[in-house]
Chains A and B, each alone.
Chain A
């Protein structure tokens, strides 16, 4: 414990939290600010517990933990609450979002499954993890929460990469997904398919090559069908990303207003509590997914650089934890947490700046939302545990 409070990782995450809460205060006022403070205390308790729990406990309960979250994800579809989607359990005074903990549970499950063994591009090493990912992603996609559903893919990819799976195998593993995404347009799908044919022909047996071929064709064809079943707002967001300034009334409204808020911050920002875009509700989700634009409006380019520096420091420390971990299970957990953290930071900011489509994903430590805050402080607890406790 004595080494915990002086850890630079903890200090960095506390600073990020403070920046987040003052931005929330400035953007939407006292109520949300106070709720976030309450969640902070819960999160700190989570951090201390996570720090104390021996890693062997995670290793032993990985499958049980996975199934528990699975049940919660099913339950939230039935009794969950949310605006236009079912994402939260309403626990009276607070809302609880199980998908946040699905991230942790999947990381632990995959780490437990792959640690201390050599993995190859084979059914025995990949089938169960892929199914585990599809089940979680699928259930969360049904809520619907596209942003969180997508996060399991980079977790799977980076953990496999870390485990030493060659890149071309990763490419083949993810080829159905790439087929699916490029399936919207033949111009993208055909070049991809040629590359796929070349790589797969070289690296696979005839039978698995044939199976891969069929899977890719099916998934390439299915994307237009699934597109038709997307909710209107999801379609609008994707279309909006492709043509931002065309329709200011539609979903691009978010993007345009977000850019205006960020851009109007200029070098030094408008100053704390002086932002105009967020105060007047021009910014959508200004305390939540778009908290970065509120921050950027008030603290400017300089503030953003400092924020990015803090994030980079944390991301780098997560990665170094994975690199220096004494056992493979810990290393895999750390790399999984590293993936979640860097993915959310990069995708959220990329989305706010209009570099990526708006998929709805929280900015770690800054966004309003207790479950996310709790998850990230637990993540910091686990990272510190790995660093500080040799076991």
Chain B
């Protein structure tokens, strides 16, 4: 029967369709069911990260050097944004239109907020809040932003923050977009202690991405605030040091507490605005910094190495004393203003006449040290200098730093070819010119060693790490020693007192405290010389050493010695003040 045939055909047709539907259901619910179940959970659960407060940074007397304050950030939910809202937003917030638009288009599917501008000023925020109804999908969030109360005075020391890059997020799973990380200075050095741990809370959301409420089945993980970092820095000294050098174009200051190696102040001039850098610069400002010939981002105290000039003379003298070539009364041919060696004349800065060792140091006579250097010979002299670790990094807890240089025979052969260098290297080395280089920090440490009769503490900035429960970590100073006889060092130390008392370092003289130190002039042809002064006090029982270099200002005695004087004065007045307070 034809109608029965058609009925069967229709049943078959329906059956085939139903089987297709059942197969699809099987695929969705049984084969891929687990995946869809997870998708469904992800759909309704939003992981909300609660920011951890970044640790603060303090100086040794609990003065805040780095803090956080609340700031406004503009966020958008890309999938709620239409082009009208976008252009409204551009109007209100003055955002780089095209770049953001392109960038947002890549995230157009996202239902979670994306930050598009940080540290928005209050006026803009008010404008946005007022016009909220034209700005669907736009929200203003409050987030902490870093402040540095001492500003440029601590810029190189404390450093600054920056938003993490994609690479950083890949290599350290802690980081997520919009996180800040330390980019330089202490902020970078102690990033893992400062950053804390983000909290996580789970919220149930609806299809529009609105939060409905907390998710009862998952407990909130509270954020853990970052640890506070206490530095050995004294904010008052730091401020003063910056103030004293800020009138010069380029300079560096290092102060060290001799009883434990703690850095008291560390300044590099020119400086920069670390808050602006943290907030993210627009490219024109950034170009300005990069193109500045004075390289404001360079930390000269650790990263610039200069010829030590006459400040090396105590070390040359010690080399002569240690190798028993001279004693403190030894005299060479008198100084007539220059010294001829080979077919070249080597100058002194005045005619000193005949001087003994201590006076040669006190008056900084070059002719004396040319002759002493020649007696010692290059190999013996450089081997003594190497004992003072000029070729090594100090391993201070502030990176990056560079090592100095001692031009040994090996180094010279490598640099110029075997014996291709002139014999003039040796007399130049004896007065600290040429290819011998030290960083301001290294020079401060050399004088720490002299002040401590060969013994000194390794330099460090960290005093302790604290969290809410108390001290987590306290820095243990490490003592180290240069092998030099204390008899010989006493001779040099007396000479250094003389430098300030009646020699070239009179600028560092203080009536009630005996200051010992040495001037230096780093020749920098064809540009003007750099001025060094490094000194410690009190000479009888040294507590503190300061090292100052000011670039391109001529002789050290005139410019740098008074800076050290001011710093030593401040150090002791602070000390008395604190003692009185207690």
Contact = CB atoms under 8 A, between A and B. Distances in A.
A276 interface: yes
Nearest to B45: A276
Residues of B in contact with A, size category: 35 or more
Given A161-B6, A277-B44, A280-B212, A353 B33 contact: no
Majority-rule SS of A interface residues:
helix
B30 A266 contact: yes
Interface of B: 2-4, 6-7, 10-11, 14, 17-18, 20-22, 24-26, 28-30, 32-37, 39-41, 43-44, 79, 108-109, 204-208, 212
A346 B20 CA distance: 10
Contacts of A354: 24
Given A262-B36, A264-B40, A316-B14, 15 more contacts: A262-B29, A263-B28, A264-B33, A264-B41, A276-B40, A281-B207, A282-B206, A282-B207, A296-B25, A305-B25, A319-B10, A319-B14, A322-B7, A323-B3, A342-B17
A176 interface: no
Interface of A: 158, 161-162, 164, 247-249, 257, 259-267, 276-277, 280-283, 296-297, 300-301, 304-305, 308, 312, 315-316, 319-320, 322-323, 338, 342, 346, 349-350, 353-355
A305 B22 contact: yes
B207 A259 contact: no
Contact of B33 (A266, A323, A346): A266
Given A262-B36, A264-B39, A308-B21, A281 B10 contact: no
A259 B35 CA distance: 11
A150 to B, nearest CB: 16
Nearest to B110: A249
A264 B36 contact: yes
Contacts of B212: 280
A319 B17 CA distance: 16
Nearest to B38: A264
B549 to A, nearest CB: 61
A128 B211 CA distance: 57
B42 to A, nearest CB: 9
Given A161-B6, A282-B43, A249 B79 contact: yes
Contact of A260 (B24, B34, B40, B205): B40
Nearest to A349: B21
Nearest to B39: A260
Of A257, A263, A346, chain B has the most CB atoms within 10 Å of the CB of A263
A323 B39 contact: no
Contact of A265 (B2, B33, B108): B33
Nearest to A302: B29
A317 to B, nearest CB: 12
B208 A263 contact: no
Given A296-B29, A353-B24, A355-B20, A162 B6 contact: yes
Contacts of A305: 22, 25
Contact of A280 (B10, B29, B35, B205): B205
B43 A260 contact: yes
Contacts of A296: 25, 29
Contacts of B10: 158, 319, 338
Given A276-B40, A349-B21, A267 B33 contact: yes
3 residue pairs, one from A and one from B, having the closest CB atoms: A263-B36, A264-B40, A266-B33
Contacts of A260: 36, 39-40, 43
B29 A265 contact: yes
Nearest to A335: B10
Contacts of A264: 33, 36-37, 39-41
Contacts of A261: 40
Nearest to A167: B9
Contacts of B40: 260-261, 263-264, 276-277, 282, 297
B206 A280 contact: yes
B82 to A, nearest CB: 11
A308 B4 contact: no
A173 to B, nearest CB: 17
Given A301-B25, A304-B25, A316-B11, A281 B208 contact: yes
Contacts of A262: 25, 28-29, 36
Contacts of A322: 7
B208 to A, nearest CB: 7
A277 B26 CA distance: 19
B108 A249 contact: yes
Contacts of A308: 18, 21-22
A263 B35 contact: yes
B25 A323 contact: no
A249 B109 contact: yes
Nearest to B1: A323
A323 B4 contact: yes
Nearest to B4: A323
Contact of B43 (A266, A277, A353, A355): A277
Given A277-B43, A346-B18, A248 B109 contact: yes
A312 B21 CA distance: 12
Given A260-B36, A264-B39, A301 B29 contact: yes
Contacts of B7: 319-320, 322-323
A284 B14 CA distance: 28
Contact of B204 (A277, A280, A319, A346): A280
A322 B10 CA distance: 12
A161 B8 CA distance: 13
B14 A342 contact: yes
Contacts of A277: 40, 43-44
A319 B11 contact: yes
A346 B21 contact: yes
A263 B108 contact: no
A87 to B, nearest CB: 24
Of A257, A260, A350, chain B has the most CB atoms within 10 Å of the CB of A260
A182 B24 CA distance: 26
Given A249-B79, A263-B29, A257 B21 contact: no
B39 to A, nearest CB: 5
Contacts of B34: 266
A323 B9 CA distance: 12
Contacts of B29: 262-263, 265-267, 296, 300-301, 304
16 contacts: A162-B6, A259-B36, A263-B33, A264-B33, A265-B29, A281-B206, A281-B207, A281-B208, A301-B33, A305-B25, A308-B18, A308-B21, A312-B18, A346-B17, A346-B18, A353-B25
A342 B17 CA distance: 10
A312 B243 CA distance: 91
A305 B34 CA distance: 19
Contacts of A312: 14, 18
A266 B44 CA distance: 18
A302 to B, nearest CB: 9
A315 B14 contact: yes
Nearest to A331: B3
A319 B35 CA distance: 39
A355 B21 contact: yes
Nearest to A275: B40
Given A280-B205, A281-B206, A164 B18 contact: no
Contacts of B26: 301
A263 B109 contact: no
B207 A353 contact: no
A293 to B, nearest CB: 10
A338 B40 CA distance: 36
A349 B33 CA distance: 18
A259 B39 CA distance: 10
A249 B41 CA distance: 19
B29 to A, nearest CB: 4
A238 B427 CA distance: 89
B228 to A, nearest CB: 42
A249 B3 CA distance: 49
